[in-house]
Amino acid sequence: MTELHPDLRDNVRLLGELLGDSIRRHPGEQTFQLIEEIRAAAKADRRQESGSGQRLLQLLSNLEDDQLLPVTRAFNQFLNLANLAEQYHGIRRKRGHQSDLMVESLEEVFQRLMDGGVSADELHRKVADLRIEFVLTAHPTEVARRTLIQKYDEMSECLAGLDHDDLLPAEREELTDRLQQLITEAWHTDEIRHERPTAVDEAKWGFAVIENSLWQALPRFLRGLDQALQQATGLGLPVDAAPIRIASWMGGDRDGNPNVTHQVTQQVFLLGRWMAADLYLRDIKALRAELSMWQASDELRASVGDSREPYREVLGQLRERLVKTRDWAEARIKGEPADASDILFENRDLTDPLELCYRSLVDSGLESIAKGPLLDTLRRAHSLGLPLVRLDIRQEATRHAEAVAELVEYVGLGDYLSWSEEERQAFLVKELQGRRPLTPRHWQPSEPVREVLATCEVVAAQTPQGLGSYVISMASKPSDVLNVILLLREAGMQHPMRVVPLFETLADLSGAPDSMAALFDIDWYREYCQGRQEVMIGYSDSSKDAGQMMAAWAQYQAQEKLTEVAGRFGVHLTLFHGRGGTVGRGGGPANRAILSQPPGSVNGSFRITEQGEMIRFKFGLPRLAEQSLTLYTTAVVEATLAPPPAPEPEWRDTMDWLTERSLAAYRAVVRENPDFVPYFRQATPEQALGKLALGSRPARRKATGGVESLRAIPWIFAWTQMRLMLPSWLGSDVALAAAESSGRLPVLREMMARWPFFRTYVDMLEMVLAKADLRIADYYQKTLVEDRLRPLGEDLQQRLDGCIALVKALKEEDELLASEPVFAHSMRVRNPYTDPLHYMQAELLRRDRDCEERGQQVPETVAQALKVTMAGIAAGMRNTG
């Protein structure tokens, strides 16, 4: 059995001991001993020692009301500290240490590609033209509060300090004391938000990730990429290259979120401008201190005159304009009069003076100085720009159609919604080709339409660098895209914005290639998009709609066909992957996901959503962010230059055969079994999730309704909490059983060996099955589910058990995760801490529901402890939804 790395084990033990010291001081020794008893019983229960399970349940059931919160909080805090230790372990730099989580270096990947026949010219061209965009999404499943995250970040810095072998005893004691202080502060901080964050709060959280981590990590990563490219090809990264970009949905995603209005979007644009000006000001002040030299090019002299410190002169002028820009943004945010004269607005207002200084230094023989902090600031300016993030706008397709329909009806042109798709397209293209405005000056639209138009006006007022994509959810036809372009033009848009259809459901994915072909067939549109098109693939809703296996295959086929369609029309396609943190939402190891995409679909460009706690796990610390950027970049470069082979015809037939069975089996339970929704509501904490103030938008698209109205995140979150993990395996169990009984396992093993897509699918299924726990799921059922629904639960548990056996048989392994021992051991270490939280959550849910049925107020201790169990289990599973 693989053990934890000694350094990681020591860190976990140290953090646990310091947490124990904090608990001993308050609430006291008695509570600490009780927690230790529960922990020991949970460990014994996992070792299957006789009577230990009953002992654990007895300890938990005997807890007094005033003991509920300290006990749940203790296990929650330990799991957060264990996550912190694992996260730091992935980036530690202790001498002689090789982290289990280290990623392959840029140099190694570039060398392997060139050894495989990629020329230096081709490698340089593809890397220089690379476009990878991370989209921080407005699905903040981040359970931990920002105030605690900041404490965890400083704890990581303390662990880094303790990693030095040359510390004096007093220095080691100082760092340990600081760790103790931080853990005590965390222990005495309420870990649960009591008020739901606003969309603006979410945006500020996203900006904080840039300020605290990516601001340092991005230029450092680009410096490494420049060096690796120089070493491999003899040419470095162009100064103005921006292979990495950051976008956001926070404050722009209004799909199903009535809290995101045009005023919110406007405020987020301004907050980004303010934060960017403030951050660049810090850089410019530091650069003025550095660039004291007098040698300068004629070009620079011509701009500043006969100054003895020409660089400081240029940067001084830039500093003054940044101050004005920050003051202007601040006044606008407060709704006060704002002086816009001489502010920095277009990106070149920032980059031109920096590039002037850079060229002058190089021309003056001072290239080593040019490539120092100045180049870092220049790279930030090209990557992040003055808006700091590129804000995406997302809205549902029918909202745009209704806006156009209301406008068309007002001007007396007919009933737009009753027109055929061909009639709509003909009308829209004719309007877009014309120059006259369609909107009458005195038109008074309805309130919903006014909001859509006001949003378009806010978007039209931004610079191109401030805008990401306009994403249309539930898109299915060309008019969905043309509607948006027309509304933006009517709002005064002066430049073409990327308008991106999002194909989410199984039917949408199947129809996506034909829909895009019809759009590309429009001459006017091909000219509008200038040979580049982005299409978003939705992972969450397709998985909820069809089950994980069918969704994965539908997504793969849609990407293949979309790539072929774009190639046929000479359009460069960028696929935007709407992945979540969990396997059920397209999550999992990013590099393997990218390397398993259809050949040709990753053509030097890649866009992906990063959500909630995954943002912290990937980008929360500068070194961690560097590592994540390296991992994504190497995968995108490799998938572009050395794509995987296309699947054999037999493999396609096999996938069709498997998914026909998985889809029918999944829908037979989720859609057709009348007991399923009541069982789901009773067996999981789904109904209680709304009490966790996770994000700004509602958990449901509609206040009432079944699974179809539930958002994908709480759908996954609920099953993860009680460890049945149903969305990620339901349907696969039946398909794999049919494959085994019909003698198809040898074909599946060949597919695993030679087809990265299928291998990744099976590995992700194995990973989620390793997180499932039949004992825990059974306890929830016995505690919470009425007798008439239990046969369904027992059937699902048997099917889960069968699916685990089938995956082990397919991989010819005795245990799950035999080839991932580090991950497997990490889960085993967490179980004794998550188990008490599971048992307590089931009991607390029972009490909560009993109170509600009697019309009684739920005791505050019960309500609070229930929320803490949700947060703790999420930490133990390392994801929510």
Contact assessment for residue 253 and residue 397, using Cβ atoms and an 8 Å cutoff: no
Question: What phi and psi, each to the nearest 5 degrees, are found at residue 131?
Answer: -135, 100
3-state secondary structure of 167: coil
Q: Which string of DSSP letters, residue by residue, matches 715-747?
A: HHHHHHHTT--HHHHTTHHHHHHHHHHTT-HHH
139 is catalytic: yes
Q: Which amino acid is at 463?
A: T
| Alpha-carbon gap, residue 370 to 235, rounded angstroms | 17
Q: CA-CA distance, 663 to 162, in Å (whole number)? A: 52
- Catalytic one among 89, 477, 544, 811? 544
What is the rounded distance in angstroms from the CA atom of residue 646 to the CA atom of residue 598? 7
Contact 740, 713 (CB under 8 A): no
User: Phi first, then psi: what are they for 411, rounded to 5°?
Assistant: -85, 5
Beta bridge partners of 131: 605
Nearest-angstrom CA–CA distance, 449 and 408: 12
* Two tokens, residue 579: 């992945």
- Paired sense of beta strands 605-610 and 131-136, if any: parallel
The CA–CA distances, whole Å, from 332 to 326, 341, 349, 468, 491 equal 10, 14, 20, 22, 21
* Cis preceding-peptide flag for 27 (omega within 30 of 0): yes
Tell me the one-letter amino acid at 764.
Answer: M
> Which residue among 5, 89, 124, 139 is the active-site one?
139
Helix residue ranges per DSSP H, 569-671 = 590-595, 612-619, 622-641, 649-670
Distance between CA atoms of 786 and 20, rounded to whole angstroms? 39
Give the chain's radius of gyration (CA, Å).
28
Nearest-CA neighbor of 317 among 344, 292, 339, 293? 344
* Tokens matching residue 30: 């008695």
CB burial readout 75-93, b (16+ within 10 A) else e: bbbbbbbbbbbbbbbbbbe
User: Token pair for residue 73?
Assistant: 């909080």
Taking the C-alpha atoms of residue 343 and residue 320, their distance in angstroms, rounded to an integer, is 9
Using CA atoms, how far apart are residues 716 and 730, in angstroms rounded to an integer? 12
The closest of 249, 223, 637, 762 to 471, measured between CA atoms, is 249
Do strands 572-578 and 605-610 pair parallel, antiparallel, or not at all (unpaired)? Answer: parallel
Check if 151 is active-site: no
| Residue closest to 431 by CA, chosen among 439, 441, 419 | 439
Count Cα atoms within 13 angstroms, Cβ side, for 242.
16
Among 70, 35, 38, 60, residue whose Cα is nearest residue 843: 60
Q: Per residue in 257-276, is it b (16+ CB within 10 Å) or e — as a string?
A: bebbbbebbbbbbbbbbbbb
User: Is residue 372 classed exposed, middle or buried when 0-12, 13-18 and 19+ CB atoms within 10 A define those classes?
Assistant: middle
**Residue 255: closest CA among 459, 500, 474, 512:** 474
Q: Is 486 strand, coil or helix?
A: helix
Query: Residue 535's beta-bridge partner residues?
Result: 575
DSSP string of 504-524, one letter each residue: -SHHHHHHHHHHHHHHHT-HH
- Give the residue numbers marked as catalytic: 139, 544
